[in-house]
Amino acid sequence: MNDAIAWIISLFGLASCFAVVDLLRSNGVLGPRGCRKATHIGTGLVYLLFWPLYSPGPSAKFVCATVPGLATFYFWMVGIGACRDKSLLERSTRSGQRQELLKGPLWYGLAHTLLTVAFWRTSPSGITAIAMLCAGDGAAEGFGRRYGRGNPLPHNSQKTWAGSTACLIFGFLAAVAYIQTAAYLGLLQPQQPFGSIVATSAIVSLASAAAESLPVGEWDNVVISLVAATSARLLYGC
């Protein structure tokens, strides 16, 4: 019953994020690019906030994972043309074409689903990976476009030093904040001292920023998630 209530709250919270972005778009506060970035950054970080509501039972992570799982399935349905959702296309794509949902947005949702099942809230690795994917990668494009003109990276002219720096800083801050919160609530097993959280998050942020800078196109969500989760797992050992 506890997990069922937590699931309803999580689903409502995710739907509320979409509704807020749609409201800001309809009122002219956010343009198409701003909507896409707000969705990218906000949904995952809000999703993490609901993890402590679930029970410590072994099935809780599977129940929780169905929240991004259902969203991903809906992305896929709209992407193949089985459903129509103009708001979703305006909120989550660059081109407004439904086929784009089958690329980055689909992998974004799958990453949240798989990271939830693979690590869950007892491990700082999954929390770190989601924080890097949402805050780090989300900030990279926005800051790169705004402040990185004329300052591209030597190995990828489509990415900038400003974007990579933003990825490192915002990914680091989000990871430390969320992992420290989980530690404070007694969710991590084993518990991690604050110094270890800061040092490990800094290293993982650097690795994630390097991964974000690679010329991998629509696979960036996959690459960042894998690099962040793997490096955090190696450093934390859990």
Please check whether residue 123 is in contact with residue 188, taking contact to mean a CB–CB distance below 8 angstroms: yes
What is the reported pTM?
0.93
Domain boundaries, the chain: 1-118, 121-238
The number of CA neighbours under 13 Å toward the Cβ of 16 is 8
- Maximum CA pair distance of the chain? 55
Q: In this predicted model, what pLDDT tens digit does every residue of 1-14 receive, in sequence order?
A: 799 999 999 999 99
Q: What is the pLDDT along the chain (238 residues), one digit of tens a residue?
A: 799 999 999 999 999 999 999 899 888 888 888 888 899 999 999 999 999 999 999 999 999 999 999 999 999 999 999 999 888 888 888 888 999 999 989 999 999 999 999 999 999 999 999 999 999 999 998 898 888 777 889 999 889 999 999 999 999 999 999 999 999 999 998 999 999 999 999 999 999 999 999 999 888 899 999 999 999 999 999 8
Which DSSP string do the residues of 125-177 spell out, in sequence order? HHHHHHHIIIIIHHHHHHHHHHH-TT-EETTEEEEEHHHHHHHHHHHHHHHHH
Apex 222 CA angle, 195 and 60, nearest 5: 65
> What pLDDT does 94 receive?
81
The number of CA neighbours under 13 Å toward the Cβ of 222 is 9
> What pLDDT does 31 receive?
85
> What pLDDT does 47 receive?
96
Q: In this predicted model, what pLDDT tens digit does every residue of 28-47 receive, in sequence order?
A: 888 888 888 899 999 999 99
